[in-house]
Chains A and B, each alone.
Chain A
Amino acid sequence: MVTRRELLLGTAGGWLLQRVRAGEAALSDAADTLTALAGKKPLIRRAFRPPNFETPLADLAAPFTRNDAFFVRYHLAVIPRVDPGTWRLQIAGASAQHPLTLSLRELRSGFEQVSVAAVNQCAGNRRGLFTPRVPGVQWGSGAMGNALWRGVRLRDVLHRAGVAPDALEVVFDGADSPILPATPDFLKSLPVERALDENTLIAFEMNGQPLPHWNGAPARLVVPGWVGTYWVKHLTAIRIEPKAFDGFWMKAAYRVPTGAFPGSRFTTQENAETTPVTELMVNSLITSHVSGARLRRGERAELAGQAWDGGAGIEGVEVSADRGQSWRDAALQRDLGRFAWRGFRFALDTSRAGPLEMAVRARSRGGAKQPDTLTPNPSGYHDNIVQSVSLEVG
């Protein structure tokens, strides 16, 4: 493993690299790995190109994650800045009865506008915490965020294009593309039922502002309850199809062992060995403290964080101070909707000096609870095991 210090030593030797766009990104303080993309605050840099940037823990404490702190995740490195004035969305495909093309103005004015608060979480969030380690972007806990998404229902747009009775999947393409023509373009599909779900949106606003470039401007898919890979950014084309889409990003990527996880199935893409990763698992994140934090004896302190699932909603969050022997309910914060995360708070007992190990476990209204052990899978998805922090009172 190379240390960051080694990585930063000197500039590139032997070859010439020029900056594509000065100021697009700049290395911040060499002591950390925070880097600011244009329009973003400094985020944890997992990779420059394709850009993969993670939200720092402190920015996940608020009910809604700020747009300039929201994580950035791309598979392909050619990411054009889309002009909203000339942008067009094409809706076609073999099962589209009346193919159409919409401008942003037509999209905004031609359909009912709706909002949904929803967690957008990368399927590989926490992959870097997997044991044993698995290859891929080594995310910590910040490849996620909660936002209020505003747009139009995908369903309404699909109905305008006419969904033929034989429609099986809806395929989505965005403006981003690969550097090499041979690299598979990033296209994703949804089962037609999920595409027609009233909560699935084509969103053009995030937390009351136009979508940031790095989060999919001018319009992106929002699939509440499902992992981020389906939330295609910079949408350009939608195809309604009578057969299962066979692109690389469906057939070979973002898959888990069949039957390994609960949640919605994507049957048209399933085979005996693997199936697409779909719904978010019930999960929680402590945002108030990290292991090693010191508390003053007798001082009032609260453990706080967020809990979420794939759309059943959070029923409760329990906290244990005795390694899971006993659990007590944390206070839940305002309910922002079943696809959003739910804040929790729990008063810490700081009356005695010494170590304090706090574990947190969320349960959904669907009856699911966070597990104690990881379900192994080759791509490192669905890490929702009970999290604990080791604090010190003294």
Chain B
Amino acid sequence: MKAARRRAPLLLLSLAPAGACGLLWAAAGEEAVRLKDAPGRDLTTGRCILCHSLEYIPSNAPAMNRAAWQKSIQKMKERFGAPITDEEAKQILDYLDGSYSGKS
């Protein structure tokens, strides 16, 4: 369906920290989901919540390692058009690998 037909309401992120993006769709309740506190969390949060709630990250941790996260970030950038710079992608990778790589 074309974007012109979208009807659900948009929200403005008025108090976004540095790195968080402006516009956001959110489902009620998802604000309860928080990522682990470590350097890169705010950037990762800000970029990822543009398109999806955050529990995709911890729930996938058991299937992920650094290479898998790299592939995932690349997919978000290249296939899904996530606005992430190369430098940000590196920081997000370090954060996700450090906090959510659970693959044995």
Contact = CB atoms under 8 A, between A and B. Distances in A.
B87 interface: no
A11 B29 CA distance: 10
Given A20-B28, A80-B7, A7 B55 contact: yes
Interface string B47-86: 0001111011011111110001000100000011111000
Contacts of B80: 178, 180, 182-184
A133 B35 CA distance: 21
B102 interface: yes
A165 interface: no
A48 B55 CA distance: 8
B89 interface: no
Contacts of A135: 60, 63-64, 68, 72
A367 interface: no
A1 B102 contact: yes
- Chain A at the B interface: SS class: loop
B7 A22 contact: no
B63 A80 contact: no
B15 to A, nearest CB: 4
A171 to B, nearest CB: 13
- Chain B at the A interface: SS class: loop
B6 to A, nearest CB: 5
Interface residues of A, number: 62
Q: Identify which of B27, B30, B81 gathers the most chain A CB atoms within 10 Å of its CB.
A: B27
B43 to A, nearest CB: 11
Contact of A11 (B31, B35, B60): B31
B8 A49 contact: no
B27 A180 contact: no
Given A15-B16, A176-B1, A177-B6, A35 B29 contact: yes
A25 interface: yes
Nearest to A3: B58
Interface string A179-222: 11111110000000000000000000000000000000000000
B26 A18 contact: yes
A45 B51 CA distance: 17
A17 B27 CA distance: 9
A50 interface: yes
A138 B8 CA distance: 27
A237 B1 CA distance: 8
Nearest to A45: B55
Top-7 shortest CB links A-B:
A182-B81, A48-B30, A133-B63, A48-B53, A17-B31, A2-B58, A48-B27
Interface of B: 1-3, 5-9, 11, 13-17, 20, 24-36, 42, 45-46, 50-53, 55-56, 58-64, 68, 72, 79-83, 100, 102-103
